[in-house]
Amino acid sequence: MPPINTILIATWGLWLVAAMVAIADPRVRKPFLLGIAVPGLGHMSIGEKGRGLLVAVPVLILYVAGLLLSDFRCVSPFDRHPLWGVLQAPAAGPTLLSWLGTRHLTLEHIGETYQVGCLYVGIASLLNLVALCDLRDLCMKVARRKDASA
């Protein structure tokens, strides 16, 4: 089995390459970056307010619930939880904000719902990845429609 650091570097590399490929297309760049920063904002920026809300509400509720269940200690990509950090990367905005806000906290004891909290935040972030894929499809559709009408 490969060492944990190899898996971490490979997965971070994969995320970076995927993000670079997505933002290489100027038609997708702005909504994609907005969607990573705030779940649902990318959809709203292309005029899909309903879809944006449908992404933002479940993802943010799940993310905040995860933080509460884990006593605000589950987001720590470079210190306590490098493996969870990989899963939390697709919601980079909330993850960065939570990490900066909670990096001074220490893990004295693991509560009953701690792992559930980690799982909630991980799922919320991965759901944002699904939303980003949907966003990319929508952007391409809009661009194709523009090309056809031009």
The H or E element that residue 34 is part of is helix 26-37
SS3 at position 2: coil
Q: Which residue from 95, 100, 92 is spatially nearest to 118, judged by alpha carbons?
A: 95
- Contacting residue, 7, 8, 19, 54, with another protein by CB under 8 A: 54
Minimum Å gap between C-beta 98 and another protein is 18
Size of the site for another protein (CB under 8 A): 26
Residues 109-138 that bind another protein (CB under 8 A): 112-113, 116, 119-120, 123-124, 127, 130-131, 133-134, 137
* CA distance readout (Å), 96 to 68, 101, 135, 138, 145: 17, 8, 21, 26, 35
Per CB under 8 A, residues contacting another protein are 48-51, 53-55, 58-59, 61-62, 65, 69, 112-113, 116, 119-120, 123-124, 127, 130-131, 133-134, 137
